[in-house]
Amino acid sequence: MIDQRAGIAALAAEMAAHGTERDAPVRAVMGLLGDRWTTLILLVLGTGEWRHADLKRVLAQLSAEQAISQRVLTLKLRTLERDGMVLRTVTGDVPPRVSYRLTGLGAGLLGEAQRLIGWIQDHSGAIHAARTNFDQRA
């Protein structure tokens, strides 16, 4: 190393919670925000209660790249439900009627995501400039 090894011990504690094994949700939750759909789902659910098919539709129209598949939407919602971010309510058998909404915890996570999105947007000019500069040198 060059000058550090000073703050490394301090990092160790922070890192202990960064693992993914068990009781260590940090990496798992960061992975949620980083994946293809979850942040988008949180943003939509932030507007109210949504049924599965409507959610699928609005996600498609918002992402504009490509629609989420039904399978993945179910998977993402399941994960969010398991982590206590989303509440799933069934009010019909055949045809099923299932709706999803954020829990308090989920609303908190949405707030964090929005804060992060805000920071990135505030610095998107600098990021874009760095990329342009880097790509020109290469």
Partner DNA sequence: CCGCATCCTAGGCGATACTG
Partner DNA sequence: CAGTATCGCCTAGGATGCGG
Interface residues with DNA (CB under 7 A)?
35-37, 51-54, 66-72, 74-78, 88, 94-99
* CA 55/CA 50 separation, integer angstroms: 6
Among all chains, which residue has been given the structure tokens 């922070």? 14
Torsion of CA 73, 89, 27, 127, to 10 degrees: 60
Residue 34 or 125: the one with the smaller Cβ distance to DNA is 34
- Cβ distance 46 to 107 under 8 Å? yes
Would you tell me which residues interact with its own copies (CB under 8 A)? 1-4, 6-8, 11-12, 14-15, 17-21, 23-26, 29-35, 39-40, 43-44, 46-51, 54, 58, 62-65, 81-84, 99, 105, 108-109, 112-113, 115-117, 119-121, 123-124, 126-131, 134-135
